[in-house]
Amino acid sequence: MQKKALLALLMACVMLLSGCALIVTDTEKDNARIVLDVNGETMTKGSIDYVVDYTIEQNNYYNNLYYQMLGQNAGYPTDPATVLDSVLEQYTDMMVENQKAAEMGLNTLSEEDKAAVQADAEAQYEELMVSIETSYLATSENEGDALREEAVAYAQANGYATLEDMVESLTEEKVRENLKAEAVKDVTVTDEELEEELAVRVSTAKVEYTETPSDFGFDVNNGTTAYYAPAGYRYVKQVLVEYSEEHKSAISEKRGALTTAEAGLTAAKNALENAEEGADTVQLQADVDAAQAVVDTAQADLDAAKRAAYDSVYVQANEVYEKALAGEDFATLIENYNDDPGMNSEPGKTHGYAVCADYIYFEDEFVTAAMALENVGDVSAPTEGGYGYYIIRYESDIPEGGMDLESVRESLTAELLVEKQDAHYEEVLAQWVEEADVKSYPEKMGY
Residue pair 171/107 in contact by the 8 Å Cβ criterion: no
On the question of pLDDT at 151 being above 50, the answer is yes
- Angstrom distance (rounded) from CA 188 to CA 421: 8
pLDDT of the residue at 25? 57
pLDDT of the residue at 92? 98
- Angstrom distance (rounded) from CA 179 to CA 93: 13
- Angstrom distance (rounded) from CA 252 to CA 301: 11
Closest CA to 57 of 81, 78, 86: 78
On the question of pLDDT at 267 being above 90, the answer is yes
Q: Rounded to two decimals, what is the model's pTM?
A: 0.71
Yes or no: is domain 234-397 CATH 3.40.50.740?
Answer: no
Confidence of residue 438 (pLDDT cuts 50, 70, 90): very high
Q: What are phi and psi of 96, to 5 degrees?
A: -65, -45
Confidence of residue 406 (pLDDT cuts 50, 70, 90): very high
pLDDT of the residue at 434? 98
pLDDT of the residue at 13? 43
Helix (H) or strand (E) segment spanning residue 440 = strand 438-440
Closest CA to 221 of 337, 403, 362: 362
- The count of other CB atoms within 10 Å of the CB of residue 223 is 10
pLDDT tens by residue, 81-110: 999 999 999 999 999 999 999 999 999 999
